[in-house]
């Protein structure tokens, strides 16, 4: 078979190269030089950025966990001798409790406020006091403690007085978010618990 001579045609070669490039761009392959060039055009970088995780929609009907006082943790008495009323130096007791909550990403974020009182007893005298307060988040059902924070509240009773108050506002407490009815998943338990007394 005799080959026919043909002239070099730049326009034809250019058309073939262009067709090859277009075929490469439209194909399913994304590796090698083609992928690098495509990334450079699309992202101004030789590598594609990491995929952005979808941000969960904030719940519209969020119900905060209930807040309660631990059994036996509502008050603490300090005695100067036997455990009789006349030997009470001072008593710590819990009063108002409050909480607020919100959802950030996959976390339920809670903040807890605690108010209480310090009362002098017959054997006590004015002073500054440290009140030990524990704030815990408990999983409903299992009754397992998910988070626990210990605080030392300060209170001072001046001369001529027998009563003072203290307040605590916790930092953010984060636990895994499960569903909008967070009161079905967790409860917040507050108690006066630990060593406290005069400073």
Could you report the per-residue pLDDT of 68-80, keeping only the tens digit for each?
A: 999 999 999 999 9
**Quick one: 33 and 126 in the same domain?**
no
Q: Is residue 53 part of a domain?
A: no
Q: Is residue 1 part of a domain?
A: no
**Quick one: 70 and 39 in the same domain?**
no
Q: Is residue 192 part of a domain?
A: yes
Q: For residue 51, what pLDDT is reported?
A: 66
**Quick one: 91 and 167 in the same domain?**
yes
**Quick one: 189 and 105 in the same domain?**
yes
Q: For residue 195, what pLDDT is reported?
A: 73
Q: Look up the CATH number of the domain holding residue 167.
A: 2.60.40
**121-130 core/surface letters (b: 16 or more CB in 10 A; e: else):** bebbebbebb
Q: Is residue 61 part of a domain?
A: no
**Quick one: 111 and 162 in the same domain?**
yes
The DSSP secondary structure of the chain, one letter per residue, reads -PPPP----HHHHHHHHHHHHHHHHHSS---HHHHHHHHHHHHSSSSPPPPPPPPPPPPSS-BPPEEEEPTT-SEEEEESSSSSGGGEEEEEEEEEEEEEEEEETTEEEEEEEEEEEEEE-TT----EEEEEEEEEEEETTT--EEEEEEEEEEEE--TT--EEEEEEE---EEEE---SBGGGTEEEEEEE-S--EE-
**Quick one: 145 and 84 in the same domain?**
yes
**Quick one: 104 and 144 in the same domain?**
yes
| Domain, as residue range, for 17 | 10-43
Q: For residue 43, what pLDDT is reported?
A: 52
**Quick one: 39 and 78 in the same domain?**
no
Cα–Cα distance for residue pair 136/183, rounded to 1 Å: 14
**Quick one: 19 and 75 in the same domain?**
no
pLDDT, tens only, 9-29 = 444 444 444 444 444 444 434
Return per-residue pLDDT of the chain as tens, 199 residues: 444 444 444 444 444 444 444 444 444 344 444 555 455 545 555 566 666 555 556 677 899 999 999 999 999 999 998 889 999 999 999 999 999 999 999 999 999 999 999 999 999 999 999 999 999 999 999 999 999 999 999 999 999 999 999 999 999 999 999 999 999 999 999 999 987 777 7
Q: For residue 13, what pLDDT is reported?
A: 41
Report the DSSP pairing between strands 88-104 and 107-120. Answer: antiparallel
pTM, two decimal places: 0.70
**Quick one: 102 and 179 in the same domain?**
yes
**Quick one: 16 and 92 in the same domain?**
no
Q: For residue 73, what pLDDT is reported?
A: 96
Number of domains in the chain: 2
**Quick one: 90 and 125 in the same domain?**
yes
């Amino acid at each position: 078979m005799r080959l026919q001579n043909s002239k070099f045609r730049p326009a034809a070669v250019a058309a073939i190269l262009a067709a090859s490039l277009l075929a490469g761009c439209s194909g399913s392959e994304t590796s090698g030089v083609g992928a690098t060039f495509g990334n450079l055009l699309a992202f101004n970088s030789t590598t594609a950025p990491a995929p952005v995780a979808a941000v969960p929609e904030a719940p519209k009907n969020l119900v905060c966990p209930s807040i309660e006082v631990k059994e036996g943790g509502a008050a603490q008495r300090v005695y100067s001798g036997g455990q009789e009323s006349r030997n009470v130096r001072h008593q710590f007791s819990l009063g108002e409790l409050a909480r607020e909550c919100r959802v950030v990403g996959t976390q339920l974020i809670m903040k807890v406020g605690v108010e209480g009182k310090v009362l002098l007893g017959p054997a006590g005298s004015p002073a500054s006091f440290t009140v030990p307060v524990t704030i815990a988040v408990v999983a409903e059902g299992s009754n397992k403690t998910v988070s626990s924070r210990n605080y030392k509240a300060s209170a001072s009773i001046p001369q001529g007085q027998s009563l003072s108050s203290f307040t605590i506002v916790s930092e953010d407490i984060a636990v895994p978010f499960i569903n909008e009815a967070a009161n079905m998943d967790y409860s917040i338990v507050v108690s006066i618990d630990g060593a406290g007394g005069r400073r």
